[in-house]
Structure 1
Amino acid sequence: MAASFIIDADPVFAYTGWNLVHSILKHTALAPSDIHVQCTPEVADRVLERFQSLGCQTHRLTRFGDGRYCNKLAAWENLRDQDIDHVVFLDTDMICISDFTAFLPKDAIGGKVVDHPNPELDLLDDLFNRAGFADRPPIIQVEASEGTTYQGNCNGGFYSVPSRFADTLFDVWRKRAEQLLADIEPLRAVGKEKHVDQISFCMALHETALPYVSLPSNVNYYLHFPGPHTQFDPGRPLALIHYHNQSLNVLGLLEPLGAVEPHEVEGTRLANALIREHFDTQLFWDLRYDLFPERGSGIGSRGDNLAYKRDLLVAEGIENASSVLDVGCGDLEVVGSLDLHDYLGLDQSRQSLDVARTKRPDWQFMLAPCDAPAAEFVICFEVLIHQRSLDEYRQLVEYVAQRTLKRLIISGYDAQDDHVAANHMIYFHEPLRLSLEATGRFSSIQQIGGHSDVVIYRCDVG
């Protein structure tokens, strides 16, 4: 068996896909090589490399049709020649909390009925008519309302397909999707264009008469709004939560509006525990700057903290320096308004650098990690606290130390406390002063301030 999902250029796909992979590995018997991460052409190579580091198979995906909503239809092309007997095609905004593979029929295609009648049955009937169908699938109840739809109109987040049916299914599915895209106006008129893949899947099932089983919502459980789950089997575990991206909060955790019942609350707790355990800083910050630009780099570069750091840097002579290296420049909120010479900003988030370039197109920026040149004045605010391992932490301390020609202003922790221990985004490894002393680079190391829960040191060379 294999699992397949698609990552598009929007950073949310890589972040949620990362969590999905770890959840599948934790709760099913699938190996990393059984997980196929399919990336659209715009996705950066370094994203593929992140998933390759886990042992996942990665592929470049050729977009299908309009290139927006039907890309699952292109996914089978990369899997056709693989030695796979069964494929589950997933959305990335899902997370596994128990073994969903136990629900899958071996001899039939499987899916979960749509949450709402998307589109309404009368329009769906008209689309079948326009497509030339003489008969219709059985009418069934949708999951989250009183509406009805045709059997096989499944929520597009989860399709279970035995490989022996895949060629036949995908050939007809593609044909029907192309017809709908060419005759899109009825769907566009009601704002339902994004459901082309689901409707064409339903048509393909009906046309091919391939065996199909309607699965319980245990394997595709919506949580982005509160509502009834008429297809849920309470005698079996909740396996796969479909939370939708709107459920992500500024910390990258799930905060779904639909988590009301005890099993939903517990499922969300388990999902968040897994996200914390496998938190990826690089993928998170791209997500954060994209989805929550108002929060950006965090409370350390907003409000009073922002003004405090800016004033401190000016007092320490940053505007008089002949060159400035800003390691972890973020969205440039702190230094963007200063008069700096020969400035170079580094960050591991492409999204943050895009924001920074719009604020100061006259400055230079590089995507970290990189071999940046040394500078007279180096800044490293609230970057050390996000280093997951002691090795990463010490490497970054050494990196900024070796690139400081005259003065380094750096923040971090000098002690562990309960707040740090409880937060999945920040880490304490050792007292910052000791780390700085261990470099042997500085003639003077002095604490010159602090804000929130970090201390700030001035380190001078020579």
Structure 2
Amino acid sequence: MLHVPLPRQRIAWSCVLDDTPALWAAFVPWLATALGPGGVAVEDLVVHHAAPLRHDVEALCGNLGVRTLAVPPFDARSPHCNKLRQLDTDFGDAERVVLMDVDTVFAARLPIETVRAPVAGKLVDAANPPLRVLQRVFGAAGVPLPQVCTTALRDADNGMARFDTLAGHFDGGVYIVDARALRESLGPRWTYWARWLLDRAGILERWRVHVDQVAFCLALAETGLHADIVPGAWNVPTHVRAAHVDDAPIVLHHHGRLDAHMRLDGELVPAAAPAVARVNAAIDAFTRAMFDNRTFWNHRYAAHPALGSGPGSRGEALVQKRAWLSALVALAPGASVLDWGCGDLEAVRTLSCTDVTGVDIAIEALRVARTKRGDWRFLTPAQFDALDGRPRDFVLCLDVLVHQRTADEYAHLLHRLAPLAHLGLIVAGYDAEPNPRSHIHYFHEPLRTTLAAMPWILEAVPLMETRDTTLYFAATSEAGRALAYNALEKSRAA
């Protein structure tokens, strides 16, 4: 007998972005693992955004062909409810829609074809809110109570803490819904009950942040749609200490626990180590191929401020750089400074200069910098071009060249900055291949070679070496060259 395979069930995979650093950062791991271990086709992705897309995210989606949709915020009282804006989307011929929180990642392909019910999800990991609150909510709403289920919070410190909740009280990280049901019944009622709960501020007591999940539970019970409870492996939390994981995790829900390279922090779930390793390998491969400095540094400054601009602006390297910068500006009283790639400002914040402009591609870096020197001016590169563009006495570019992915980007940055310096360009970069290399560091040619070939540079005077980088004063005028040698003489005499 000839076997004719059934046509593939089309599934739409949807998420919502909002204007918080954690969600912008979480998008890259979600996308990387959806297209990688998750096996999701790019044409099946729909990314909603309740705030204008950051330029780096917009560029990433455009390059990959990811469908993006702007949606208005749902209600200012509950940013979490912005996810309900997905319910108005036309998912075309998709038979199923998987609604996901963006702070999830795929360790493997979700077997959606095994779901038979119109709706599926995983019961919540904790009693948020507890059963008594849910029972009171359902009573006030006049919706018949669904079945009470017993589940457990996996906590390595307290063992298996069992608790009761309602059937359909699913964790919001992953909802699987029949597209027609979402459009015609569940979606409209979910929206209704979310607004109903928001209008009754005290009804959820201190668990009001979970209004979206409770509204889903109300809508599911009211519509009478059958729901499958999926295995825990379909939505494994990594932000709580887990005693064990029943099955190999398929989706992990990190709730923002990402390391400085936007990789999953699996410290609290050691039993999930193989899945975490698979996820992180996919994230590393994706970021190597699609690396964007804006995304990386926005996450670094928002989530890992102690690391800041990296080892080049910490410890002994920071002490030496501050000393050289102070010595140079002391020889040019009243000098103006342009710090390109200012980062968290640690290298320059102690300077006594008053005319200082910091420029950075990472808006989170500029936010941090403004808290340290409110008397200075801070701009993005686009803002500098549109609003400023004027030369300065000193132009700084410290440990920025090492993050330029291509030789063209590397050369373009130097050729852009050198003409802006009256006295000199103070620049740090690689004179040799760094060891070890990482996916955020790039070497194109020795910095001394590049500087020697630039028409604006009279002489590149090396000031100091630290780790793999060399700090140069690239003089752009005779006055600048004299100043550099004056600083060197004072340093040797000290």
The number of residues matched between the two structures is 450
2:406 aligned partner: 389
Alignment partners' CA distance in 2, 1:135 and 1:251 = 45
Q: 1:33 to 1:406 in 2, by over 3 A?
A: farther
Alignment partners' CA distance in 2, 1:29 and 1:309 = 47
Point out the more displaced range, 285-294 or 163-172.
Answer: 285-294
Matched, 1:41 2:51: yes
1:425 aligned partner: 440
Q: 1:271 to 1:444 in 2, by over 3 A?
A: same
Amino acid at match of 1:335: V
Alignment partners' CA distance in 2, 1:364 and 1:218 = 49
Matched, 1:74 2:85: yes
For normalisation by structure 1, the TM-score amounts to 0.90
Q: 1:110 to 1:6 in 2, by over 3 A?
A: same
Query: Could you report, residue by residue, the CA deviation over 1:276-299 in whole angstroms, capped at 9, with x for unpaired residues?
Result: 223332112112222233332223
Q: 1:432 to 1:102 in 2, by over 3 A?
A: farther
Q: Which residue, 268, 279, 292 being the options, matches 1:271?
A: 279
For normalisation by structure 2, the TM-score amounts to 0.84
Alignment partners' CA distance in 2, 1:21 and 1:33 = 12
Q: Which residue, 156, 168, 191 being the options, matches 2:172?
A: 156
Matched, 1:398 2:415: yes
SS of the residue aligned with 2:162?
coil
Alignment partners' CA distance in 1, 2:144 and 2:273 = 45
Q: Which residue, 413, 431, 451 being the options, matches 2:466?
A: 451
Point out the more displaced range, 248-257 or 1-10.
Answer: 248-257
Q: Which runs of 5+ in 1 are unaligned?
A: none
1:212 aligned partner: 227
Matched, 1:86 2:101: no
Q: 1:143 to 1:162 in 2, by over 3 A?
A: farther
Q: Which residue, 352, 355, 362 being the options, matches 1:349?
A: 362
Tell me by how many angstroms 1:244 deviates. Answer: 1.7
SS of the residue aligned with 2:393?
strand
SS of the residue aligned with 1:416?
coil
Matched, 1:434 2:449: yes
Q: Which runs of 5+ in 2 are unaligned?
A: 1-10, 155-160, 478-494
Tell me by how many angstroms 1:143 deviates. Answer: 5.4
Q: 1:266 to 1:345 in 2, by over 3 A?
A: same
Amino acid at match of 1:68: P
Contact 1:103 1:219 in 2 (8 A): no
Q: Which residue, 126, 151, 174 being the options, matches 2:191?
A: 174
Matched, 1:306 2:318: yes
Instruction: Map 1:43-442; keep pairs closer than 5 Å.
Output: 43-44=53-54, 47-65=57-75, 66-77=77-88, 79-80=89-90, 82-102=92-112, 105=115, 108-142=118-152, 144=154, 145-167=161-183, 168-188=185-205, 191-228=206-243, 232=246, 234=247, 237-245=248-256, 247-261=257-271, 264-279=272-287, 280-317=292-329, 319-320=332-333, 322-340=335-353, 342-369=355-382, 371=385, 372-419=389-436, 421=437, 423-442=438-457
Tell me by how many angstroms 1:138 deviates. Answer: 4.2
SS of the residue aligned with 1:147?
strand
Point out the more displaced range, 131-140 or 18-27.
Answer: 131-140
Q: 1:333 to 1:96 in 2, by over 3 A?
A: same
Alignment partners' CA distance in 2, 1:244 and 1:458 = 45
Alignment partners' CA distance in 1, 2:241 and 2:347 = 40
Q: 1:402 to 1:310 in 2, by over 3 A?
A: same
Q: 1:111 to 1:449 in 2, by over 3 A?
A: same
Q: Provide the alpha-carbon RMSD of the alignment.
A: 2.4
Tell me by how many angstroms 1:332 deviates. Answer: 1.8
Q: 1:425 to 1:30 in 2, by over 3 A?
A: same
1:31 aligned partner: 41
2:480 aligned partner: none
Alignment partners' CA distance in 2, 1:359 and 1:89 = 41
Contact 1:111 1:159 in 2 (8 A): yes
Amino acid at match of 2:180: R
Query: Could you report, residue by residue, the CA deviation over 1:73-130 in whole angstroms, capped at 9, with x for unpaired residues?
Result: 12222x2364433221111111112112546526521111111222222222222112
Contact 1:143 1:229 in 2 (8 A): no
Alignment partners' CA distance in 2, 1:387 and 1:410 = 14
Q: 1:433 to 1:268 in 2, by over 3 A?
A: same
SS of the residue aligned with 1:80?
coil
Tell me by how many angstroms 1:72 deviates. Answer: 1.4
Q: 1:102 to 1:143 in 2, by over 3 A?
A: farther
SS of the residue aligned with 1:58?
strand
Contact 1:27 1:98 in 2 (8 A): yes
Contact 2:56 2:294 in 1 (8 A): no
Tell me by how many angstroms 1:324 deviates. Answer: 1.8
Contact 2:145 2:221 in 1 (8 A): no
Tell me by how many angstroms 1:142 deviates. Answer: 4.0
Amino acid at match of 2:169: N
Alignment partners' CA distance in 2, 1:375 and 1:104 = 64
Query: Could you report, residue by residue, the CA deviation over 1:39-76 in whole angstroms, capped at 9, with x for unpaired residues?
Result: 12365455434322321111222222323221111222
2:28 aligned partner: 18
Point out the more displaced range, 272-281 or 305-314.
Answer: 272-281
Contact 1:225 1:257 in 2 (8 A): no
Contact 2:312 2:318 in 1 (8 A): yes
Alignment partners' CA distance in 1, 2:93 and 2:377 = 48
Alignment partners' CA distance in 1, 2:273 and 2:393 = 52
Contact 1:225 1:256 in 2 (8 A): no
Contact 1:11 1:283 in 2 (8 A): no
Q: 1:149 to 1:92 in 2, by over 3 A?
A: same
Q: 1:218 to 1:391 in 2, by over 3 A?
A: farther
Q: 1:135 to 1:335 in 2, by over 3 A?
A: closer
Amino acid at match of 1:159: Y
Contact 1:343 1:363 in 2 (8 A): yes
Bigger CA radius of gyration? 2
Tell me by how many angstroms 1:453 deviates. Answer: 3.0
SS of the residue aligned with 1:146?
strand
Q: 1:346 to 1:116 in 2, by over 3 A?
A: same
SS of the residue aligned with 2:72?
coil
Alignment partners' CA distance in 1, 2:191 and 2:452 = 63
